[in-house]
C-alpha cells in the first residue's frame, strides 16, 4: 500500500490541470483547488496516480472532531480500486495512504472520543418538531445585527436573553464537536446532464443537556435538533456504506 506526504492543494490542483474533463472532479475538492498552485508535481508516478484517483472518486467523506485537548481530522476517499485516506499532523502536513475499504468504518469510529455521546452505538434520531430547537426570525435578525456591527458570533448569541435553555446550550456549549462532510458524485456519461450529487455537512455538539445536530455552514440559520447519543454513527456509517456501493458501481437507495 502506497503512503506519502503531499500538500492537498498543490497535489489536487496539479491533478485537475491535467484532467481533460474537469467536470468529473468530485466537488468536495473545490475548496482545495488553487490556480496559483499549479506548479509541476514532485510526486512519483504511483503517488500521482493516487491523487488522480482521489480527485475523481465517487465518495469523499471528511470527519473532524474537536475536544478540549485536541483536534482530529481524516478524509476518506473510496473508488473502485479501494480507499485512500488524508490525515494531517500537528504541523498541518498531510499524509496520503492507501487502505482497505474494510478498514474505513473502524478508522472513522476511532476518531470519536470514547465514552461520549459522539461515540455512542448507532441510534438514529428521527427529526421532528419535537426535537427541533428553533430560532425565531426576530432572534436571528437581532443576532445578525450584532454580528454585522463587529460583535463576535458567540458574544452576539450570548447577548440574546430570550433563548430557551436548550437552544442556549446548543449554540454556546464548548463541549466536544464532530463535523461530517460527505459528497457522493457520479459524473454523467456524455451530454450535458448534471452529475448525481449528494452532499451533507452536519455538525454535532455535546452540551450540558444533551447532544445537538445542525446542517450547513451556518447552523444558526438552519434547524438545530436535540438528538440521541449514537446519532453520529447512525448517520455516518450508512452513508459510508452507500458511498462504498456507489464506488463499486452498485445502485444505492434514493
Q: How far apart are CA 170 and CA 177, in angstroms?
A: 11
Which pLDDT does position 194 carry in this prediction?
Answer: 62
Tens digit of each residue's pLDDT (9 = 90 or more) over 194-210: 677 899 999 999 999 99
**Given a cut of 80, is residue 33 above it in pLDDT?**
yes
Q: How far apart are CA 250 and CA 203, in angstroms?
A: 29
Q: How far apart are CA 166 and CA 136, in angstroms?
A: 14
Q: Tell me the average pLDDT across 116-125.
A: 97
Ranges of each domain in the chain:
3-110, 117-247
Q: Would you place residue 42 in the very low, low, confident or very high pLDDT band (cuts 50, 70, 90)?
A: confident
**Which backbone phi and psi does 248 adopt, to 5 degrees?**
-85, 0
The single-letter DSSP state of residue 122 is P
Mean pLDDT of the chain: 90
What 192-198 contacts at long range (C-beta under 8 Å, 24+ apart), as own/partner pairs, is 195/23, 197/27
Tens digit of each residue's pLDDT (9 = 90 or more) over 126-137: 999 999 998 999
More confident residue, 14 or 117: 117
Q: Tell me the average pLDDT across 244-249.
A: 93
Tens digit of each residue's pLDDT (9 = 90 or more) over 150-177: 999 889 999 999 999 999 999 999 999 9
What global pTM score does this model have? 0.91
For the ranges 32-46, 137-151, 184-198, which has the lowest average pLDDT? 184-198
Which pLDDT does position 254 carry in this prediction?
Answer: 46
User: 100-125 burial, b for 16+ CB within 10 Å, e for fewer?
Assistant: ebeebbeebbebbbeebbbbbeeeeb
Q: Would you place residue 17 in the very low, low, confident or very high pLDDT band (cuts 50, 70, 90)?
A: confident
Q: Percent of the chain at pLDDT above 70?
A: 91
Listed residue (83, 33, 32, 31) closest to 54, CA to CA: 83
Amino acid at each position: 500500500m502506497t503512503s506519502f506526504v503531499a500538500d492537498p492543494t498543490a497535489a489536487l490542483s496539479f491533478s485537475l490541470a491535467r484532467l481533460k474533463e474537469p467536470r468529473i472532479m468530485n466537488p468536495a475538492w473545490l475548496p482545495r483547488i488553487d490556480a496559483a498552485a499549479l506548479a509541476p508535481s514532485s510526486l512519483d508516478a504511483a503517488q500521482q496516480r493516487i491523487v488522480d484517483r482521489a480527485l475523481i472518486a465517487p465518495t469523499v467523506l471528511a470527519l473532524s472532531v474537536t475536544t478540549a485537548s485536541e483536534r482530529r481530522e481524516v478524509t476518506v476517499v473510496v473508488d473502485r480500486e479501494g480507499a485512500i485516506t488524508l490525515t494531517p499532523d500537528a504541523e498541518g502536513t498531510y499524509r496520503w495512504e492507501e487502505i482497505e475499504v474494510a478498514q474505513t468504518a473502524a478508522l472513522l469510529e476511532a476518531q470519536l472520543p470514547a465514552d461520549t455521546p459522539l461515540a455512542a452505538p448507532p441510534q438514529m434520531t428521527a427529526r421532528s418538531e419535537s426535537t427541533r430547537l428553533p430560532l425565531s426570525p426576530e432572534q436571528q435578525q437581532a443576532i445578525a445585527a450584532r454580528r454585522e456591527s463587529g460583535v463576535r458570533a458567540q458574544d452576539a448569541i450570548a447577548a440574546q436573553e430570550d433563548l430557551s435553555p436548550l437552544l442556549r446550550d446548543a449554540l454556546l456549549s464548548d463541549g466536544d464537536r464532530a463535523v461530517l462532510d460527505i459528497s457522493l458524485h457520479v459524473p454523467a456519461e456524455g451530454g450535458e446532464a448534471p452529475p448525481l450529487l449528494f452532499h451533507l455537512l452536519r455538525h454535532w455538539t455535546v452540551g450540558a443537556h444533551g447532544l445537538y445536530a445542525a446542517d450547513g455552514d451556518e447552523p444558526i440559520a438552519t434547524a438545530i435538533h436535540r438528538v440521541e447519543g449514537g446519532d453520529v454513527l447512525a448517520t455516518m456509517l450508512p452513508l459510508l456504506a452507500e458511498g462504498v456501493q456507489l464506488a463499486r458501481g452498485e445502485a444505492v437507495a434514493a
